[in-house]
Chains A and B, each alone.
Chain A
Amino acid sequence: MYRSQHLALKYFAAAITLLGVMTLAGLMSAYYYINPDFLAGLLPFNIAKILHIDTLVIWLLMGFMGSIYWFLPEELGREPIGIRAAELLFYVFCAAVAVVAVVFIFVQHGSSNETALWLINQGRKYVEAPRWAALGVVVIMVVFAYNVIGTAIAAKKTTGIITVLIVDLVPLLLLYLDAFPAISNMSEDLFWWWWLVHLWVEATWEVLIGCIMALALMQLLGTSRRIVEAWLYIEVALVLGTGILGLGHHYFWIGTPNYWLTIGGFFSALEPLPLLGMVIHAVYDAGAQHMRTTNRPALFWMMAEAFGNFIGGGVWGFMITLPQVNLYAHGTQWTVSHGHFAFWGAYACGVISVVYLVLQKARNLTLVDGPLWKWSFAALNIGLVGMVGALLVSGFTQAFVERAIGGSTLEAFIAGQENPWFMEGMVVRFLLGIVFTVGYVVLVWDLLALGRRVPAVAAASPAE
């Protein structure tokens, strides 16, 4: 194994650990809706929420980085350049995440000055981490980009997938620079914030996971490079062709001109197309191989990624993306329903698939199968889809009671939140969150036990 691949294993361990923190913080955030006095005086809702969404970003980022550190040396046939710096920065990254979490939990807020933004909390959703930590992320991403680009230069070769990855790293890095400003004008602040959030999540991250899935598909199903690269280019064209101006669906209500209603509505309505393409691609490849694989959990998680991305990101997103609907759905639990489904389908399932694939190689397993992964697969997906359904019920209730009937005042907000349908959704969401948590525990158990079960399973036919 290359040193880079040992580093990949560390990144995966950190990512799966943070997935656990995210799950726990999510469960806490869900419980506040049922018992608002939960941890009163100790930990307000917003801190639990910050821990939930920031660990979401970080565990996925670590999962992506682990995936690239695993595939890069195999793709280019050499140890990545600057691997020592990358190894060092992994520990810095983990330490910084821990320090930021401790500051969030125990310090929580500062006064209204620049010092608070530098040291405690920036207070901008998804990028709440204080500026020193955000600077650290920039350094880590620069070194990551150096690892990829430097290795391609040193190897004097590249592949279509690596070229797409290199081109994608540029906007990925540049857009993150928007994690720092504190613009007084909320309209302008949100205008640029959406460049970061949307063009990361619905553009550069989609391309990144597309590259990772392309690399994984070649190993998992033996799909030819020519087919994988052609599909990757198609996906890039469709993702960015619809996603760049699809950014406009975030500009309906932030003070921007009303032409964004038409442009954003039109292009974001097309955004499911590339996601549908991914489903066709995955089903075609899996069918061509007659679902034969030596790694069933990796295959199933990859299929979950394709379908979850299309349904959660595409269909659920389309449901609220036209401005006539979005006027009532925006900023309700309906949005939260879409957010959970989309992040899960688009990214989480893909990262878990790669983790199974990598562990098979790292532990030299002939066959990866068994009962545990099925239980975790079922619990995680039933839990997640159940939460999405429950949030949808609550979101519908809010859209009707608070927005359409009540008129969005404080009184209308309270009427919506206290409506029995809303509360039932919140209770069911919490219960399904517990199912999801059980699935997470089984997932960790399975990942840890994977090698130990192998001798017994490996005796079976490797080509099921």
Chain B
Amino acid sequence: MRFFDDPAFWRAGAISTIVVMSVVLIMLTIDSLAAITPGGSHVPPYTVINQHIDYKFVAERGIEVPVIGAAEPLFGTALDTAAATELIGQGKMVVQSRACMDCHTFFGSGAYYAPDLTKAWLDPAWESWQSITGADTREGAMVKFLMDPEQYRTWTRSMPNLAITEAEARATVAYLKWVSAVDTNGFPPNFAHIQTNR
């Protein structure tokens, strides 16, 4: 019998392939987890919500990346690490309990019925929504919208009223601001140019 007719030959090949690939995956996982820890090289600390965030093209990398600027506390109050962590945690609980990702996407993952939320904090649309909602600030407009989305319907599809309280809405806005500062290797593309043009 030729060696490649023998199942044992292919079994040995399968086992060695799995072992090698698994070891490489574990090594890359260890490295990636360090990079995506809040405060790591790609994911900002939760206290980034106290600062101005922008999304700009960086020539060396050839993509848009988040740019962290001067102090710009969310809702006008700077939070320490513990308070910011708690607020972001609550924001994530809102995202999960309302199954946001079964309509929206984060980083392009989720459902596709509603807009991607990766850079929602930076979306130019909030400027016009400030006047629609009568809010003084972008975060104020976002809170009003989240608490009663059916009142501020923007097009044919309306976000349903998910009984989001004011505290939950503020936490969600904090979450969106933090997410917008994650370095996503340039996803979504072209977003910064639109802002610049405006």
Contact = CB atoms under 8 A, between A and B. Distances in A.
The judgment on whether A and B are partners is yes
Best-buried of A112, A191, A333, A413 by chain B (most CB within 10 Å) = A112
Nearest to A413: B115
B131 to A, nearest CB: 16
Interface of A: 32-33, 36, 40-41, 44-47, 49-50, 109-114, 116-117, 120-125, 128, 160, 182-191, 193, 226, 229-230, 233-234, 236-237, 240-241, 244-245, 247-248, 250-261, 263, 323, 327-328, 330-333, 335-336, 403-404, 406-414, 417-418
Nearest to A115: B97
B10 A233 contact: yes
Given A186-B107, A187-B43, A121 B99 contact: yes
B42 A160 contact: no
Contact of B33 (A123, A182, A188, A418): A188
A46 B124 contact: no
A112 B95 CA distance: 8
Contacts of B179: 186
A125 B112 CA distance: 12
Given A46-B103, A254-B107, A257-B35, 12 more contacts: A33-B113, A112-B93, A112-B168, A121-B96, A121-B99, A125-B111, A233-B13, A234-B14, A255-B36, A257-B31, A331-B109, A409-B123
A269 B189 CA distance: 22
Given A113-B93, A123-B100, A245 B113 contact: no
B189 to A, nearest CB: 5
Given A328-B189, A331-B105, A256 B96 contact: no
Given A112-B90, A112-B171, A123-B96, A32 B32 contact: no
Contacts of B111: 45-46, 49, 125
Given A233-B10, A331-B112, A411-B124, A121 B97 contact: yes
A376 B123 CA distance: 47
B133 interface: no
Nearest to B188: A408
B194 A412 contact: yes
A240 B17 contact: yes
B116 A113 contact: no
A233 B14 contact: yes
B113 A244 contact: no
Please classify how large the interface on chain B is, using the bins under 10, 10 to 19, 20 to 34, 35 or more.
35 or more
B147 interface: no
A49 B107 contact: no
Interface of B: 5-7, 10-11, 13-14, 17-18, 21-22, 24-25, 28-29, 31-33, 35-38, 41-43, 85, 88-103, 105-113, 115-116, 118-120, 123-125, 154-158, 160, 162-163, 165, 168, 171, 179, 182-191, 193-194
Given A45-B103, A123-B97, A191 B32 contact: yes
A38 B105 CA distance: 22
Contact of A190 (B97, B102, B106): B106
B170 to A, nearest CB: 12
28 contacts: A40-B158, A46-B102, A111-B97, A111-B168, A117-B96, A123-B97, A128-B99, A184-B91, A188-B37, A189-B92, A190-B107, A230-B6, A233-B13, A240-B21, A241-B21, A248-B28, A253-B187, A255-B43, A255-B107, A260-B28, A331-B109, A331-B112, A331-B116, A408-B119, A408-B190, A409-B125, A410-B120, A411-B124
Contact of B18 (A184, A240, A250, A327): A240
| 6 A-B pairs with least C-beta separation | A331-B108, A408-B188, A233-B10, A123-B96, A46-B102, A253-B187
Contacts of A116: 93, 97
B5 to A, nearest CB: 7
B94 A327 contact: no
